Amino acid sequence: MGSTATKEGRAQELLRLKSEYLVPCVYHFYKDPPVIVRGEGCHLFDDLGRQYLDCLSGVAVMSAGHRNPEIIGPAIEQILMLQHTTTIYLTDPILRLAKALSELAPGKLSRSFFCASGSEAVEGALMTSVLHTGKPRIIATTNSLHGRTRWAMNATGTPMWRTDPFPPDDVSHVPFGDADALADELARHADQTAAFIAEPIQSNGGINVPPDGYWQRVRELCDEHQVLLVLDEVQTGFNRTGRWFACEHFGIVPDIMAVSKAMGNGFPIGAFITTDDIAQSYTRPGASTHGGNPVNATAALAVIDCHTKHRLGQRAQESGQYLLEQLTDVTGQKTHLGPPRGIGLMIGIPVINADDTPDAQRCDLILERLKDLRVLAGKSGPDRNILTLMPPLTIVRQEIGELIDAIQEATA
Ligand SMILES: Cc1ncc(COP(=O)(O)O)c(C=O)c1O
């Protein structure tokens, strides 16, 4: 804690700096935000020493928990040995990681391109689909989020994240979960369409699980029209939903898959993974300065080991099931909460008015109360009224009990 700390903490001073020096698009949660200074397991701590149960995991990043020694240990050793070179030199971690990913990824996905973020992973996946098919257009879904680079933002369907006032005319959007709408769009434009991109389960769009049969039908439609299926597993990947990749729930394999977030557990890494055949279309020089950096690649390898050793997929499935059951009891007693939904530890609870319309204001109030009860949660959905829970996958029953108690109280 710096010398300027008072018993009120440093929030006011940091808010002043933020209002002066950050681009105003960078929003924060809470009217009275805590200053987070430390993380440990499922908990965050503020500058006044208060402990919070982290139920957002830095937006689905810290799946293996904060300050996990099994991940930061090897990364620190790597920092001390060799931090950075770029891919113009041969280094070992990037190649071991690519091999490990090809073993984890479904079907014939075997070749990776590494970058530093989810947006770049999506951008690379879309570029590769255009290169491979020789077709210029993309179909994406409403209420999606794919990133902030120009193409990823244009593929994004949620209006609040579509900041570009002049989006290029190369993406059309169909409703998520509606295979007939995709079939109609493909019937009209398949000859111009390189890929259909979507999240297997929409996360920022409000924890939307598509209806049974949707993904199988989408896979068939893409094959029928020779359009590639790009899955954005940036948020759903790495056991968030109880499987390494959410597409495994639906028994389908994409042609290209974008990953990031929990893959690095706090180290900035992303990748797109594709088949040998598709990868052969991308032969012009391509480089990402930080992509596959030895430190981030070492951390990602440690993440894979940690998830495997501690069976985090199975834990996410079991804890998620238990949390969903408990939440169903709570929401059943409250008129302003809809039924909870989700898979694994990706759960959303609609906050609604008496006539079932979204109540974003009450959602904000609940988030604020939860924070005062020392639980940090999130919100999602086009109306920002879906209370969103994505704790580290290492969360234990007692912590889930604390979360349920806090939700009971905050929604009273
Ligand atoms: C599904 C999905 N794709 C892509 C992105 C963009 O990732 P990044 O913020 O690392 O660029 C996000 C970010 O939240 C996301 O949720």
Per residue in 246-281, pLDDT tens?
A: 999 999 999 999 999 999 999 999 999 999 999 999
Residue 7 has pLDDT above 70, yes or no: no
Contacts of residue 242, Cβ cutoff 8 Å, sequence gap at least 6: 249, 313, 314, 316, 317, 320, 343, 344, 345
Task: Note the pLDDT tens digit of each residue in 26-60.
Answer: 999 999 999 999 999 999 999 999 999 999 999 99
Burial class (CB in 10 A: 0-12, 13-18, 19+), 362: middle
- Reduce the DSSP state of residue 400 to 3 states and report it: helix
Percent of the chain at pLDDT exceeding 70: 98
The residue type found at 42 is C
CA neighbor of 247 nearest in space, from 271, 211, 215: 215
Q: Which residues line ligand 1 (CB under 6 A)?
A: 59, 117-119, 122, 145-147, 199, 203-204, 232, 234-235, 260
Ligand 1 centre distance from Cα of residue 283 (Å): 26
pLDDT for the residue 2: 42
- Please choose from 25, 123, 146 the residue to mutate so as to test ligand 1's pocket, defined by most ligand atoms within 8 A of CB: 146
CATH class of 69-309: alpha beta
Task: Note the pLDDT tens digit of each residue in 320-377.
Answer: 999 999 999 999 999 999 999 999 999 999 999 999 999 999 999 999 999 999 999 9
Cβ atoms of 275 and 125 within 8 Å: the answer is no
Contacts of residue 182, Cβ cutoff 8 Å, sequence gap at least 6: 139, 174, 196, 218, 221
Give, in degrees to the nearest 5, the angle at Cα 252 between 249 and 253: 120
Ligand 1 centre distance from Cα of residue 155 (Å): 12
For the domain 11-64+311-410, what is the CATH superfamily, name and number?
Aspartate Aminotransferase, domain 1 (3.90.1150.10)
Helices 294-309, 312-332: axis angle to 10 degrees equals: 70
Mean pLDDT of 121-150: 98
Q: How many CB atoms lie within 10 A of CB 188?
A: 10
Assign residue 407 a region (left: φ > 0; alpha: ψ between -120 and 50; beta: otherwise): alpha
DSSP state of 209: P
Beta-bridge partner residues of 388:
348, 378
Residue 8 has pLDDT above 80, yes or no: no
The residue type found at 124 is G
DSSP state of 412: -
Ligand 1 centre distance from Cα of residue 234 (Å): 6
Q: Whose CA is nearest to atom 7 of ligand 1?
A: 118
What does the mean pLDDT of the chain come to? 97
Give the helix/strand (H/E) hosting 296.
Answer: helix 294-309
Ligand 1, atom nearest to 261 Cα: 10
Scanning the structure block, which residue is given the tokens 């940090």?
Answer: 376
Residue 3 has pLDDT above 80, yes or no: no
Rounded (to 5) percent helix, strand, coil in the chain:
40, 15, 40
pLDDT for the residue 9: 79
- Please choose from 59, 119, 288, 386 the residue to mutate so as to test ligand 1's pocket, defined by most ligand atoms within 8 A of CB: 119
Ligand 1 centre distance from Cα of residue 3 (Å): 36
What tokens appear for 345 in the block?
A: 């530890």
The boundaries of every CATH 3.90.1150.10 domain in the chain are 11-64+311-410
pLDDT for the residue 5: 47
Q: Whose CA is nearest to atom 4 of ligand 1?
A: 146
Q: Whose CA is nearest to atom 3 of ligand 1?
A: 146
Task: Note the pLDDT tens digit of each residue in 179-221.
Answer: 999 999 999 999 999 999 999 999 999 999 999 999 999 999 9
Largest pairwise CA distance in the chain: 65
CA neighbor of 406 nearest in space, from 371, 380, 361: 371
Kindly indicate the confidence band of residue 1, based on its pLDDT and cuts at 50, 70 and 90: very low
Identify the sign of the CA torsion 310, 314, 56, 329.
negative
Task: Note the pLDDT tens digit of each residue in 278-304.
Answer: 999 999 999 999 999 999 999 999 999
pLDDT for the residue 242: 98
Ligand 1 centre distance from Cα of residue 332 (Å): 32
- Please choose from 26, 143, 145 the residue to mutate so as to test ligand 1's pocket, defined by most ligand atoms within 8 A of CB: 145
The boundaries of every CATH 3.40.640.10 domain in the chain are 69-309
What are the C-alpha distances in Å from 308 to residues 170, 194, 301, 325?
A: 40, 35, 11, 26
pLDDT for the residue 268: 98
Residue 404 has pLDDT above 70, yes or no: yes
